[in-house]
Amino acid sequence: MLLACLVLAACGDGEPGGNSGGAASVDQRLGSRPLVPRIPAQFEADLATLKGRVVVVNFWASWCRPCRDEMPAFERVSRAYADAGKPVTVVGVDASDVRSAANAFLTKAGVTYPTVYDQKGLNGGVATSWSVTALPQTWFVARDGSRAGRLARPVTAAELRTRIDELLSGS
């Protein structure tokens, strides 16, 4: 539920003229925080609290070069939708990684969106429960909470925006 609290807190930062529907103020600090550990049931419970929002779930690891290369696209897209007040949440899932290496990478990369730690990852963790067999992989969750597709390869910011906009419009 910690992820849900972070996301819900981010939707209204409590400041006048704040970022309603966005995630910048709270999430800007997430890069320096420890990754929140999650098992599949916890992660599913977190996602259930985000019903009504389009959710982009990116499975990655700090040892995965394509994952590191695509991370700036996720950051740009996450910030753009947050700044526009759109009901979109990007969630990173660090799978099958060394937690300290992942934290160091997130801090260096300036990642501000919520990211959880999936220690078992590809070997029985959250990644496995989402049928992830290789990294990177990105899943899209529709506003009704259903899984609405995946891209089992690196993605660009343009691809992310196209799919998110389709889901926002109900396509």
pLDDT digits (tens, 9 = 90+) for 111-170: 999 999 999 999 999 999 999 999 999 999 999 999 999 999 999 999 999 999 999 998
Q: What residue has token string 């995965």?
A: 64
Could you give the residue ranges of the DSSP H alpha helices within the chain? 2-11, 24-27, 40-48, 65-83, 99-109, 126-129, 157-168
Residue among 138, 74, 83 nearest 112 (CA): 74
The domains located in the chain, with CATH, are 2-6+29-168 (3.40.30.10)
Q: pTM of the entire structure?
A: 0.82
* Whether the Cβ atoms of residue 22 and residue 83 lie closer than 8 Å to each other: yes
